[in-house]
Amino acid sequence: MPSTARTRFRLAGALAAVLVAAGVVTGPAAQAHEQPAHGKPTRATLADLAQRHGRYFGSATDNPELTDTAYTKILGHEFDMITPGNGMKWYATEPRQGVFDWTAGDQIADLARSHHQKVRAHTLVWHSQLPDWLTTKQWTADELRAVLKNHIQTEVRHYRGKVYAWDVVNEAFNEDGTYRETIFYKTLGPGYIADALRWAHQADPRAKLYLNDYNIEAVGPKSDAYYALARQLKAQKVPLDGIGLQAHLALQYGYPTTLENNLRRFSRLGLDTALTEVDVRMLLPATEEKLAQQADWYRDMTKACLAVRRCVGITIWDYTDKYSWIPAFFPGEGAALPWDEQLAPKPAYQAIREALS
């Protein structure tokens, strides 16, 4: 760093310290510089570091692990955005038609509020984890449209003012960019996506509304389909605020090198983007070499988001291997997250810190 830049950096740091001491700056990032009673500086969290860039850094969680106090201590401290892994999905919230159960979703929303965290709510419309009453009946278009509207608006109204954003429609496309033939697509046609966004906006005009999917990190047929749909929805004045790139990556399949360019093209449409379900799995056993490569990928993803102004934040799909979904769905794979099964930080954690610093 040139000497003039170092001088400016020192002056900026000194000014920040003065403002903190005077009580002028009081946000989470400022609090990271405060001196606790024992006189040692508090270590900045991932959320603190992200906030300095105008971003959030979040984690998914799920209800069963909330009894693990060592786990929830880190969850409540390190992150400023929480996503419920399952508690707000259709099977959990409307297990019988017209009968709603908010128990699981409320538990996570209440936990987030108690830690002054925001909530990325997930998800309103998805082809998976639907209740039997919905999937076993043959619906007419009018019937299903009414069911879908009622579900979306009832749930969004319940959480109105309590969530930052919704993944409104999840995983709507196939890998080749064609529409996934879900119960909603087959019965209602592609217009169900615009309807879902409009209904969600009516129920909570302040919530940010996203479309969310996996394998859309790189420029390709599937992300192209989202780009075309987003451009169409924006032209039609449909209330779409952002695109969520899940970023479930695997070392054996390669890094999406066009990620930053992909984020930029969505931002040019006037949309926010976010990395919403990040993990980087590997073939087990984990080795130092694989963990180092994983760390590089986490660093690169973080830098890509920071490089694009409208990439608003990153959420990892739970923060610890102890509660990762990967081993159950991809036998022989795992070690996907920045903390290990003993809740100890891995090289990926330090790489994220370095990128944010």
Assign 343 to helix, strand or coil: coil
CA dihedral 318, 323, 327, 332 (to 10 degrees): 100
Active site residue 277: yes
Backbone angles phi, psi at 212, to 5 degrees: -135, 140
Length of the chain: 357
Active site residue 260: no
- The letter for the amino acid at 238 is V
Q: Give the Cα separation of 139 and 145 in Å (integer).
A: 9
In angstroms, the Cα distances linking 357 to 136, 168, 347, 350 are 51, 32, 15, 10
Q: Give the Cα separation of 97 and 114 in Å (integer).
A: 31
Set 94, 277, 288, 354: catalytic member: 277
Angle at 217 between CA 160 and CA 281, to 5 degrees: 95
Set 78, 94, 171, 217: catalytic member: 171
Is there a contact between 355 and 304 (Cβ–Cβ < 8 Å)? no
> Which of 334, 331, 333, 330 lies closest to 320 in space, CA to CA?
334
Q: Give the Cα separation of 153 and 207 in Å (integer).
A: 13
> Which of 278, 348, 355, 260 lies closest to 315 in space, CA to CA?
278
Is there a contact between 239 and 257 (Cβ–Cβ < 8 Å)? no
Residue that is written with structure tokens 């109204």 in the block: 157
Task: Give the catalytic positions in this structure.
Answer: 171, 277
